[in-house]
């Protein structure tokens, strides 16, 4: 007995629906994560200087370069001339790559935008201590970027 088209459609439909639902759930989860990260960045950029929470570090370290992308949406480059803003941005970038193995999305593990911002701070920041921290971060991010590229080429 040959299966007819109707039987094939009926048998395949239950398989197709969960796949579509899973793809939609993944998209919703990524959007929710992005919204949460935007709120995190906004909170740290507007918080009273010196007020740090352990939660900041835990949350920041899962987003990687996505943190830097959110920063560039919220501030202008000339805002980095302000020492308080520069300190906050630097802290966010340090959080973002504190534990690179914890970054949730593989694409956010490559520190492209973070490297750009850290390099800018290392060159243009008016506070010497922040320039030094930014230079140290640039060194770490360059090493991380080299490692990321080596792994990507090795695939």
User: pLDDT digit string (tens) for 109-124?
Assistant: 889 999 999 999 999 9
pTM for the model stands at 0.69
pLDDT tens digit sequence for 70-86:
899 889 999 999 999 99
Residues 6+ apart with CB under 8 A from 125: 80, 83, 86, 131, 134
Where are the chain's structural domains?
Answer: 31-154
* Widest pairwise Cα distance in the chain: 82
């Amino acid at each position: 007995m040959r299966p007819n088209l109707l039987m094939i459609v009926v048998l395949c439909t239950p398989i197709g629906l969960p796949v579509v639902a899973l793809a939609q759930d993944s998209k919703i989860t990524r959007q929710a994560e992005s919204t949460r990260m935007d709120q995190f960045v906004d909170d740290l950029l507007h918080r009273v200087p010196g007020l740090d929470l352990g939660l900041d570090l835990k949350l920041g370290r899962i987003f990687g370069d996505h943190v830097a992308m959110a920063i560039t949406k919220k501030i202008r480059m000339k805002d980095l001339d302000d020492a308080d803003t520069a300190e906050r941005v630097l802290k966010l970038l340090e959080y973002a790559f504190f534990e690179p193995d914890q970054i949730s999305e593989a694409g956010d593990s490559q520190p492209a935008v973070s490297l750009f911002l850290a390099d800018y701070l290392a060159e243009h920041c008016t506070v010497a201590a922040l320039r030094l921290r930014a230079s140290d971060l640039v060194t770490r991010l360059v090493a991380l970027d080299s490692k990321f590229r080596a792994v990507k080429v090795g695939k």
